[in-house]
Structures are given as C-alpha cells and as structure tokens.
Structure 1
C-alpha cells in the first residue's frame, strides 16, 4: 500500500524588483489623479462659489478688479500649492522617522519638532510682537531645528550614536517639558492665546506665496536627502551588524535622516502649523501598496502625502459648505479612521 508523499509548502514569493516598481508607478499615477480631482474641486468650491468659467479666466486672463479672480489667484491656488508641499513634507518625514526608529507609530513630532515650533511661535507673539503668518515661519522653523538638535544631542549622551529608543525618549521628554512652558505662556497672556490658537490648529488658509517660497529651499534639500537615504535605510533595517557589514556608517545615516526629518517636518509645521495623521497614514498606505523597500516606498510616499492632504482639505471645505473646516481638524476627523483601518488591516506591512 503506497503512502502519500508529503509535498513541501512553497516558500512565499517576494515581489520582483520590476513588479515593485510597477506598483510604485501605479501609486504615483493614482495619486496624481486624486491631486487633479481635488485641485479642481478646491478651485470651484468654498465659502464663495466661483463658476468654472471664472476659474479659467482667472488663470488665463487675470484681472485684479475682478473679485472672483482675486479669490482664485490670491487664496485658492496658493492654498492648494501649500497643501501639496505640506503633504509631501509630512508624509516623507513620517516615512523617514518610521524607518529610522523601526516604529510604525512614530510621527515627525518624535524629535520634538511640533513642540519646538509651537514654543517659538508663542515667544514670537508674546515677546517679539510678531502677528503675521509670514513672520511665524522663521520663528517656528528655528524652534523646530533647535529643539531637534537638542533632542539628538540628549539621545547621544551615552557611548555610540543615538539609538532609536534614546531618540524617542528624549523627544518625549522635551515635548512634555516644552508643552508645560507653552501652557504657562498661554494662560498668563490672553492676547498670545488669541493669536496662537489660529496657528496651533493647523491650517492652509490665509497663507500667501511668501510663506511657500520661504520653505521651498528646505523642502528641496529634505527631498534630495530622503531619496539618497533609501538604500542605507534598507541596510539599516536588516540590523546594525548587517548594516555595518554592508559598509553603512550607522551614525552618519541616523544623523542625516534626522536632519532630513527636521527640514521637512519643520518646514511643514512652520508654514501650516501642526497637522496630524498625514505623517502617520501616508507611509502606512504607501507601505501597504508597494512594500517596505525604501527605494520604491519613498517615491510612493512623495505622491501619496500631497494627495492625501489636499483631498482631505477639500473634503473639509465641501462637507460643511458654505463654512470651511480647518485643515488640522479635517485631517483629524477624516484621516483618523483611515489610519485606524490601515493599522487594523491584516495586510498591513510591518517594519
């Protein structure tokens, strides 16, 4: 009597490089479609409806005496452009900090970026007399940069380079300490609170072109660094010993990644205020669609982040029209459930 021969289970196949790149380009094309749709919706909708013919005329034959043209060119187009840049920065910064710390729940604020920017804005309003959004930008960016450097130095006090665990602990400690100082300033000065609350809620509204041009150089450098870090971060994901064996200088990679995160998240926070969930949800969504390889993951995040923020901002304008939902509130209300669904999904890709 013959016995059945046990057939070994086939090993799970990993997507080939060209398959991963195919997924990446599919994600980029899909994100571009979302951006185009959201851009058109954002130009046509708002507290003041503008007919499509007026939108086309404003772009092709701008007339400063026409109020509809002014709304399109001075308010809605800059808002969409800023949303694209901020979404790009937050998504990319979230992907980098998650790869660096090996923590899928890490966000750009882990290096104290939001807390540093918020404290700097409080000081600018209360003690330097700054009241304009364009004036907040440089203070917020400087605060984010200084605190991030202090967090990195604190995480490096022991022997060796700063480890992900020490960076996270140092960032949490600085965030709690600075949040207490911010609360003390706000409670002792009502005028500071009145100005600060509009920035702290996170919004793309009311920002002019000067704010966008001020942060563009930092965004460009941060994007270049992120693309260059794709291979070293892949090696670091194999473990420190394997990375060293592959010739990766771990300390340099961590420092460069932290610098890129500060530039990207600092620029986004300075321009639009603290906006949550984009830095968490965009990397998770991109990782699920393309896999964990940073060579295809980072370009996918650069496409998904802007699409996610602009689509959320436009949705916040539409659902309560003719009023408008602030961008920070819209991302919290709409992005939160999306992020929870991604985390609970069985197909979610682990770091």
Structure 2
C-alpha cells in the first residue's frame, strides 16, 4: 500500500483518525444491548430523557467507553513498541505470551489473598515484564529471532502453558475462579472509574518514557551500529522499551483482562498509512487502538443482543484474518 503520509502528512492522518475515534465513542454511548434506544441515549447525553436512560449512559456505557479508550491506547502503543523492538511484524503481546504472563501473575495474586482493588495492577505489570523478557530471550535464540513464524509458535506455546497453569490454579480456589472468570476472555464491561484511576499513573509514566525512547528506538531500527554512531546505547534502549511494554500491557490486562490481536492489527494499519518509521506509526497507533477496542466492544453488544459477546472473542475474529494476511504475504519483512 502506498505511503499515504507522503501526500497528506501525519497531522492530517491524526486528525482523520481522531474524528473517527470521536464517532466510535459516540456510538459506544448511544448503542447497547439493553432496551435504551439510541434516541433515548442521545437525550440522556444532554441531561434529558428518563432516569433509566441517564443511568445507563452515565454509569454503564460512559465508564466502559473511557476504559476502552485507555486500554486501546495501551495495547496499540505496546504492539508498536514490541514489533519495533523485536523487528518482527508478528510480535504482539497477546500472541507472544506477554498478556498471558500478566494474567497468570494476577491469578497467583488472587490465590494469595489479593483483590482486584489492591495489588492487581502492579502484579499484572510484573507478570507482563516476565512474559516480555521470556519472549525476547526466545527471539534471540538462533533460528527463532530470524523466523517470524517460529517466534509466534514459541509465543503461542508460552501462552498455552501459562493459560493451562492459570486454569489449574483456579481449580483449587473457587473464590479466585469467580473473581477472575469474568475478565479472563477480555472485557471492558462492568469496569468503573476507580479501576481506571489505578492504572493512570503507570500509563502516564509509560508515556513519559516513550517520549524519551522513540527517537533512539527509530535509530536502533536502522541497526546497532547506526544507533551507537548516533550516541545511543542499544542495551538501555531495549531494556527501557521492555519496561514500557510491561507497564502498558500490565495496566491494560489488569483492568480489562487479556485482549489479543489489538497489538497486531493496530500497528499493521498504522504502518500501512504512515510508513514503517516508529516516530510516525507509534503516534498513529494511539487513536487507532481505541478505535478498534471501542468499536469491537460496541459491536459485541449488538451482534448477540440482548446478550453480549466477550470483547476478546471479537478482537480475535477481527485480528485472525490480519494475521493470515501477514503470514501469507509474499514477503514478511523484518521491521
């Protein structure tokens, strides 16, 4: 696909995606699986309408929209950073075991008496960090880091192992099973602003660190010699990028559960629009991530109404064709 940024520029792309994000957020507030019609929801947005409509919009749909916004930003940014770090277009937190490592750590915390309101965020970030380090260690093994397909297979194996261990642990603690079951497939439903407030400090820290690393990471993408020649330290860059990915994925997993394929699809679309430069694709991922998460969440309420599909299931249905498209391409470039 042609590099559209050469004709329109990054600001125009950000403006277009920002407007699309606003439209998706409005749709999330207006449409749902309940009996409140879009017209009633629109009236509630302006302070009119019934008490029930105002409650649904303000207390149910608005919080999950805000959570979807934050989770989408975190997963989209984490996917762009991880793919650049691994130089692999298939490097995605959900596919490579990072999200599964975060979920496994949360399960362990629940078994030892923690609750979703206390240590979950920090434990999820530690689990994501461990999963990220395992994946990158595997990527450096001879024959794996140079083969995107084998890297995904190694990540899928790690994810399956961690998910199996998570299921095994939940068999021995019914309380933990009841507490974790509602988000193990990924969802932004039922979340409140207090949970969102717990992860905001980590996300702000990740944003500050990203501002510091984006230029050195772009230099590293050109090769270690180029990065060193420009005065950067590749080892420090990689370590800082791993920490940022752990903060982002751990925060998103703690509040919404493991949601896969967002970190794969969003950077893929961003590169198609803005080119491979991380300094462009990363910022374009910030609106594209919430567009995918909030859009998928809105569809999940409508497809099986009055029930709802799990968000993680719908993102998987969206992401699987993109994965096949990348794998079946004639050329699978290393980033």
**What is the TM-score of this pair, normalised by structure 1?**
0.80
User: Could you tell me which residue of structure 2 aligns to residue 237 of structure 1?
Assistant: 221
Question: Displacement of 1:325 after TM fit?
Answer: 1.3
On the 8 A contact 2:89/2:333 being kept in 1, the answer is no
Partners of 1:279 and 1:155 lie apart in 2 by: 15
Tell me the TM-score normalised to structure 2 length. Answer: 0.84
| Paired residues of 2:186 and 2:310 also in contact (CA < 8 A) | yes
Rounded Cα–Cα distance in structure 2 between residues aligned with 1:172 and 1:343: 15
**1:51-91 deviation digits (Å, cap 9, x = unpaired):** 4554345344389x912111111110111111111011001
Shift of 1:350: 5.1
Q: Counterpart of 2:268?
A: 284
**2-side partners of 1:60 and 1:134: how far apart?**
32
Structure 2 residue 46 is matched with structure 1 residue 69: no
Q: Deviation string for 1:189-214 (max 9, x for gaps)?
A: 44533432212110000000101111
SS in structure 1 at match of 2:182: helix
For 1:304 and 1:34, how far apart are their aligned partners in 2? 9
Residue 46 in 1 paired to residue 32 in 2? yes
CA distance in 2, matches of 1:189, 1:72: 35
Q: Does 1:208 align with 2:192?
A: yes
Structure possessing the higher relative contact order (Cα contacts under 8 Å, 6 or more residues apart): 2
Cα 1:177–1:250, aligned 2, differ >3 Å: closer, same or farther?
same
Asked if structure 2 preserves the Cα contact closer than 8 Å seen for 1:117 and 1:139, the reply is: no
Matched ranges for 1:1-351 at <5 A: 19-20=5-6, 22-52=8-38, 54-61=40-47, 66-109=51-94, 113-128=98-113, 130=115, 133-135=116-118, 138-145=119-126, 148=129, 152=133, 165=140, 178-341=162-325, 344=328, 351=335
For residues 110-160 of structure 1, the C-alpha deviation after alignment (integer angstroms, 9 at most, x for no partner) is: 785323322233234334163xx545xx325324325625864x799xxxx
Structure 1 gaps of 5+ residues are 1-13, 157-161
SS of structure 2 residue aligned to 1:108? coil
Aligned length: 325
What is the Cα deviation at residue 106 of structure 1?
0.7
**Any stretches of 5+ residues in structure 2 without a counterpart?**
146-150
Larger radius of gyration: 1
Tell me the CA shift for residue 267 of structure 1: 0.7
Equivalent-residue separation in structure 2 for 1:146 and 1:41 (angstroms): 34
